[in-house]
Structures are given as structure tokens and as C-alpha cells.
Structure 1
Amino acid sequence: MKVWIKYLLGAFIGILVAFIFPSGNAGFVSVMSFLSELFIRTGRYIVIPLIFTTAIESVNKLRTSKLLLKTTSLTFLIIVASTLILTFVGLISILIVKLPRIPITVDVAAEIKGINVKQLILSLFPYSGFAALLDGSFLLVSLVAAFLIGWESASEEIMFKPIFALADSASKLFYNIATFFTEIMSVFCIAIVCFWAVQFRGIIEMGIYTPMILLLFVDFLIVVGVIYPLILHFVCHDPHPYKVLYASIAPMVLSFFSGDANLALPLANRHCRESLGIRRRSRGFTYPLFANFARGGSALVSAVSFILIWRSYSSLGISFFDVLWIFALSFGLSFIFGGIPTGGAFILLTILCNEYARGFETSYLLLQPASLIMGSFATLLDTVTAMFGSYIVAVKTKMVEHHTIKHFI
């Protein structure tokens, strides 16, 4: 059975269970919450070892073949371009479609986790190099350490051959372990989806957030069904641009229902290799970069959400300079969310509200009940972007072995 079928089947069973059991059953909700958290932690267990060892091998090979600069440049070019596109799509859609206002309620502002940019920068270089393997959320920390090892091991190939051989073997070992994890995650997905569906029932029953959800869904369809395939067709001259979308089904399912940008990484890595044929030296370096920096999904969702809040608070039109400010801040801040694998879209919205001020400081509370679905769409878009971006880089650097669709896992 194809992997994507297993994940879709797990998602269907999870939703079915959620609607069979009453959402008001506190015991059932508590059990599903515990199992969801447990299985998400289980899925992320192998992420750092896989990323660290594979990145060492990738950087070493890329430097040896003199493709490191080209690969890095293409990756960051696509990251910036995709974030621009997603932010633009979000703003245009919400400016064209005037969603119904959300009723303003009086709530007490809760303490919202912020972003300490200085601390994020300092965390890239912990006091001990071994500490780079301890942070399971901020993948860039371990990626920096892997880059340094991979770079230096390529400078003296004979002297550091044992180091490279160890990393190479460990990478293959962790890939095999990750393959096992991705298989069992299709079963664990049932609990994750079930808990998501229980929370989603509460959101959808309110009715006031349904138009926003539909708009985000349409934006998703436009991006993955039209924009990304067109870019792939013209940039890579690929006659079958939708094959990347087909290869992304399972990672999309897992990322959407978990809302975790890191959880789907082993599954996406497996599809990059076994479905799209991306060589390890490319995907081992490019995909983690996309996972850390390509957070255009959060920019799109936060831009849509902020303008929806604006229109709920005021009947005045939005000036061009305000739109430009929203675009610039959503676009610019999205690049520093690498250390926040979950809930980045809502946190970015709180920053927009606080930075804009003028009585909007606590207006994010209007959308706090819908933060679950905001995170789901943001992570979904980010995962698709990473898949398309990794494939484009691999094609342009000739590090892909094309497979026929019937051989996709």
C-alpha cells in the first residue's frame, strides 16, 4: 500500500473517531491530547540525528564537487521568492474578498510567547558544540554544527576520511530508522488527527471563523494547484509538474493535522529520495534550510488574519502604506521563526498587532480560538514550499534521478 494512502486512511479514521465520540467527554479529550503529544514527540525523536548526520555528508560532497555555493544561493533565492509570493497571495486575497466581521468580545489578554531575536542568534553557537544536538525545536543549531564539520572534513579528505565515513554510515542508519518511524506514524496519525478534529469541531461550530477557513483553503489551492506547478514547469521545463504535489500528499497530511513543521521532516525526506529521486547530498542540506527559513505560510496566514481583525475593528479603508507595512513586516519576520516549529502564524499575528499599536495591541484575541487552524494552514504551505523548493534546487544542480510516478512510494 502506498504511503500516502496509509496517511489518508489514518486521517479518515481519526476524524471518524472524533465525530463518533462526544466532544464534551473530558476523559476522551484528555486521552487524545496525551496520545497526540506522545506520538508527536515520538515522531520528532529521530529528526535531529537524521538532519545532523545527513547534513555533514551533504556539505562534504557539495564542497568537494564545488556545488555548495550554487546550491546555497539557489536555495535562499527560492526561499525569498516563495515567501514573497505567499505573502502577496495572502494580502491580495483578503483585500479582494471582504470577509464578514468577527464579533468583538472583551477578553483578558493572555501572556503570549514572543520572539527574542538576540537569543535566537546566540543559540546558534551554544557554549558546548555537543549542545547543538540537544535542541529538538531549532534545527538550525544542529545544522550549523553539521555544516562546520562537513565543510572542514572536505578540506583534508584523506585525514578526515574516518569522520566522513562515520557520518555517512550514521546517516544511512538513521534514514532506515526514520523509514520505520514514518511507517508507524501513519498509525499514530489516527490519535493526532482525532485530537485535532475534536478541537476543530469547537472552532467550526462557532460559525464566525468559517469564511476565513474557506479563504485560506482557496489560497492553498491557488498556490499548490496553480502557482507552484507553473513555476516548476517554466523554471525546470518539467512536463509533469504535479508529480511533486503527488509526492507531497503524505507530508502534507501529517503537517496539516499536527501543525508541527519539524514532525513531517523525516517523511518528507523519504519522499524526496524514494519518490522524487533527489540525491542525498542535495536534500540533506536544502530541505533543512527550507524547513528553517521558508515560512511564507505563516506570513500569508498572519497577513490575512491581521486585515480581518482590522476590518472587524474599523469600517475605514486600509491605506496603501498600511498594506505595505503589513506586507513588509509579515514577510520580514517570517524568516526568524525557525526556532518555533508550532504556532508561528499566531505568534506573528500577535507581533503585528503589538507593533501596529493604535488600540490593536490585544486584538489578536479575536482569532485566538482559531489559532489551531491558522497553524495548520501555515505549516501545510511551508511543507509544500519545502518539497517544491528542494526539487527545483535538485533539478537545477542536476542532483536528481527522475522516477516514474508508478514507482512513487
Structure 2
Amino acid sequence: MIAAAAGILLGILLPLNGGDTEVYLQNLYTYVLHIGRYLIFPLVFFGLTIGTYELWMENRFFKLYGRSLAYIVAAAISSGVIGAVFVAVFSPDRVPIIIEEAQVTPLPGLAEQFTRVFPKNLFNVFTGNGDFLLPLVIFAVILGIGLLRNRSVSAPVIDVFESLSRVFRNLNRVVLEILSFGLFFMAAYRTSQLRGMVDLELFTQLLFVVIGAVLFVLFVLIPALLYFLGNRERNPFLWIFSALPAGISALLSGDMYFTLSSAHGSVGENMGIQQKAGSAMLPLGAVFSRSGTALVTAISFVLILRSYSSLDVTFVQYLWIIGSSILISFMLGTVPGSGMVVSLSLISAWYGQGLEEGFLILLPIAPILTALSVLVDIMVILLINQLVADRESMVRSVPVKDFL
């Protein structure tokens, strides 16, 4: 919090026409982003492998994953509906059609994704570009189940994986300490980037609607769900405080995999969720749970539709937008850092009727929309972790003084 506040202050004080200053800040932002994602794949691999083994041994594997998937689907549906309701009720003004250019990385097709998940050579799973966690997740689950066969033979491997899992958790704590300083540069860059956005006033009403929906989810819906579905003795707002490291990381980075590093710390150190549960549910959420992106996509595309047409959006169109936003949210596992733009480009292409490039009018505020969507994404993932862990009695009490 101190680093982020100091970085915001620096970003406000720096002159916008400071020569190479913004370039240097952007480079520092990129370096910090790489450091934050550096350990995620081995952290997930060893933790998920040993977590799968332990969950299967305790007959909790299917219950935990079943509940997690059910909550993920429910969260996506709820977010799409909330987004549509907010934009329908508050009805932001149309945005002038601005000519913008952008090259959006297309999502790989189903055939390509299948070959990446199950390549001809298993070791190719470890040689990707670091933007697709699902192949590693599936291999870790298969390996964890495989360790159950002939335990006398697999016992040494289990010991090694358990030790490596602890080693990488400790290394992750070191990375989090480094990120405490790195967030200073991220906050400074984001603030200077925000100050340099042109025609920001054109999107003021849209941003108010998006921020209003985000605040509703964070401070109304999540506390209510924690109270009614979780442990009623827990202070839901104190829980939000425990998730703050991950929330700040999400807001400043706009990158899901970068945020996973802080999320691992929040789950284990602040929320007291057992490691085997957190190791299983966090990667699953990072790949499939993008409810925040569904929320912002629904709001944004309704505005795009209104901006290109003088007609009101019909009820059937609202249903189509909600359904498309939900469906796309499950397809963004390969774009941890640009999911919002890809989501808007996809829904524009699916709608057609001359709106294939309609998403370009929102490119000037894409960094803001991305940051807010990832913030809701990670908070919902942590909420799902907490609710499932509560149901499975896999939580210990952590005093505030021991928070990470």
C-alpha cells in the first residue's frame, strides 16, 4: 500500500513531457512484471502435483474441484447479469466513433489449444511462452494422481515434490518482498499513463458505471456471499483486507499470472487456507474464472452497440451480450494480460453487422478497463477459494498481525 501510494504520487509529480521518463517507467514496469511471473509455473506445478495427491488420498479431490467449477460458472453468470443491469439502469452516454488502430492477438483455435495441452512431446509443456497455464495444470493433476499407484516406488518422488513445493513457496515470499518495491514503479507508470490519456472525458460516464459495478461486487456482493455462504463469524471486510495484496497487484499490473504470486501469499498466509486446497483452486481459477472480464465486457459492448446505432438495445440483445460475455470469459486462459481487449474484439466479431472493429473506440481506456477487470477476476477467485475451503473445513484462523 505504501509503495503503491508513493508510486502514484511520483506519477502525479512527473512532467508528462519528460523526454524518456515514461519510456524508463514502462521498462521498469515490464521488468517488475517479469519478476512477478518468474516463479509462477514451478510454484503451480509442484504445489498442484502434491496437492492433488493429498486431496485424492483424503477423498476430497472431486468435491473440491466440483464445488470450485460450480462457483466459477455461477460467478461468470452473475457478473454478466450485473454488468448488463448496471449499464441498462445508469445508461452512459454514447461515445463518439474514434478512428483507432490496433493489432489484437487472436485466441488459438480449439485444435491448436488441444495440441498445446497434449503435445506430441510431453516436455513441450515446459517450453511454452509462459502465457498458457492449462497444459501445466493438467500434467500436474495427472502426475499427482499417478503418484498414488505403487506408493512404495513413488514415495521418494512424493518427498521431493513436497520439498520443492515448500522451497518455491519460500522463494515466492522473497519475490513478494521484492514486489513491494516493484509496485512503486508500476504505480508510477500507471499513473503517468493515466495522465497521458487523451479525450478521457469522453469515457467518464462509462468509467463511472464500470467502477460502480466493481465497487458493488467488491463491497456489497462479496461480503454478502462471505456472510451467507461462508463462516458467519468472519468479518467479511477484514477478509477483503486480507486479499488486498492480490487486489493491489491486479489493479496495477492488469495481468492475471503476475497477480497469482500475491494471491498465493494471501490464500496461505492471510486467509489460512490449507496449501493443498489453495494450490489446486488458484490455477483452476486463473485459467477459467474471468468473471470480472465478463462484467466489464458486458458493460462495454452495450455502450459500443449504442454508439454505433441510434436504436435502443433490445432485451434479446442484452441476453445475447450476457451469454457471449460469459462464454468468452472461459476462453481467456491464453491471454493473462490482455484478456479485456481480446474479449471485446471477440464479442464484436461474433456480433458482426459492421461492428467487427467497434471495440477500437474503447482502446484509449483499455488499460483502465483491463485493470478493473483483473481486480474483480482475482477477488472472485479468492472468494471461491475461501467458500470452498470453508465447506471442506480446510481453513485455520489467522490474526491480523500475521497478515502477509
Tell whether the structures are fold-level matches, with TM greater than 0.5: yes
Equivalent residue for 2:103, pick from 102, 111, 116: 111
Q: Is the 8 A contact 1:256 1:379 kept in 2?
A: yes
Could you say which residue in structure 1 is the equivalent of 2:177? 183
Equivalent residue for 1:90, pick from 60, 80, 83: 83
- Pick closer, same or farther for the CA change 1:213–1:291 going to 2, 3 Å: same
Could you say which residue in structure 1 is the equivalent of 2:329? 334
Q: Which moved more, 1:311-320 or 1:46-55?
A: 311-320
- The alpha carbon displacement at 1:204 in A equals 6.9
Q: Which amino acid aligns with 1:79?
A: I
- The alpha carbon displacement at 1:106 in A equals 3.5
Q: Does 1:243 align with 2:238?
A: yes
Aligned alpha-carbon RMSD (Å) = 1.4
- The alpha carbon displacement at 1:197 in A equals 1.2
- The alpha carbon displacement at 1:309 in A equals 1.2
Equivalent residue for 1:398, pick from 390, 393, 397: 393
SS, match of residue 151 in structure 2:
coil
Could you say which residue in structure 2 is the equivalent of 1:14? 7
Q: Which moved more, 1:123-132 or 1:376-385?
A: 123-132
Q: Which moved more, 1:16-25 or 1:236-245?
A: 236-245
Could you say which residue in structure 1 is the equivalent of 2:223? 229
Q: Is the 8 A contact 1:138 1:339 kept in 2?
A: yes
User: Following the alignment from structure 1 to structure 2, what is the Cα–Cα distance between the partners of residues 376 and 309?
Assistant: 19
Q: Which amino acid aligns with 1:60?
A: Y
Could you say which residue in structure 2 is the equivalent of 1:353? 348
Q: Is the 8 A contact 1:300 1:378 kept in 2?
A: yes
* Percent identity over paired residues: 26
State the Cα deviation string for residues 185-215 of structure 1 (Å, max 9, x = none). 0101111111111111123763112222222
User: Following the alignment from structure 2 to structure 1, what is the Cα–Cα distance between the partners of residues 284 and 5?
Assistant: 32
User: Following the alignment from structure 1 to structure 2, what is the Cα–Cα distance between the partners of residues 395 and 158?
Assistant: 33
Q: Which amino acid aligns with 2:72?
A: I
Q: Which amino acid aligns with 2:45?
A: F
Q: Which amino acid aligns with 2:221?
A: I
SS, match of residue 323 in structure 1:
helix
Equivalent residue for 2:116, pick from 114, 123, 134: 123
What does residue range 306-345 of structure 1 map to in structure 2 within 5 Å? 306-345=301-340
Could you say which residue in structure 2 is the equivalent of 1:4? none
User: Following the alignment from structure 1 to structure 2, what is the Cα–Cα distance between the partners of residues 313 and 84?
Assistant: 26
User: Following the alignment from structure 2 to structure 1, what is the Cα–Cα distance between the partners of residues 31 and 402?
Assistant: 33
Q: Does 1:81 align with 2:74?
A: yes
Q: Is the 8 A contact 1:334 1:348 kept in 2?
A: yes
Q: Is the 8 A contact 2:297 2:344 kept in 1?
A: yes
TM-score by length of 1: 0.95
Q: Is the 8 A contact 2:52 2:280 kept in 1?
A: yes
Length, aligned pairs only: 401
User: Following the alignment from structure 1 to structure 2, what is the Cα–Cα distance between the partners of residues 210 and 180?
Assistant: 39
Q: Does 1:150 align with 2:144?
A: yes
Q: Does 1:37 align with 2:20?
A: no
Could you say which residue in structure 1 is the equivalent of 2:272? 277
Q: Which amino acid aligns with 2:216?
A: I
SS, match of residue 91 in structure 2:
coil
Q: Does 1:298 align with 2:293?
A: yes
TM-score by length of 2: 0.96
SS, match of residue 262 in structure 1:
helix
Which sections of structure 2, spanning at least 5 residues, go unmatched? none
Q: Is the 8 A contact 2:104 2:341 kept in 1?
A: no
Q: Which amino acid aligns with 1:223?
A: V
Q: Is the 8 A contact 1:293 1:335 kept in 2?
A: yes
Q: Is the 8 A contact 1:192 1:258 kept in 2?
A: yes
User: Following the alignment from structure 1 to structure 2, what is the Cα–Cα distance between the partners of residues 159 and 168?
Assistant: 16
Could you say which residue in structure 2 is the equivalent of 1:161? 155
User: Following the alignment from structure 1 to structure 2, what is the Cα–Cα distance between the partners of residues 112 and 154?
Assistant: 43
Q: Which amino acid aligns with 1:114?
A: P
Q: Which moved more, 1:61-70 or 1:158-167?
A: 158-167
SS, match of residue 137 in structure 1:
coil
User: Following the alignment from structure 1 to structure 2, what is the Cα–Cα distance between the partners of residues 235 and 300?
Assistant: 22
Q: Is the 8 A contact 1:59 1:68 kept in 2?
A: yes
Q: Which moved more, 1:15-24 or 1:200-209?
A: 200-209
Equivalent residue for 1:201, pick from 186, 189, 195: 195
Could you say which residue in structure 1 is the equivalent of 2:282? 287
Could you say which residue in structure 2 is the equivalent of 1:134? 127
Q: Which amino acid aligns with 2:105?
A: K
User: Following the alignment from structure 2 to structure 1, what is the Cα–Cα distance between the partners of residues 29 and 164?
Assistant: 29
Which sections of structure 1, spanning at least 5 residues, go unmatched? 1-7
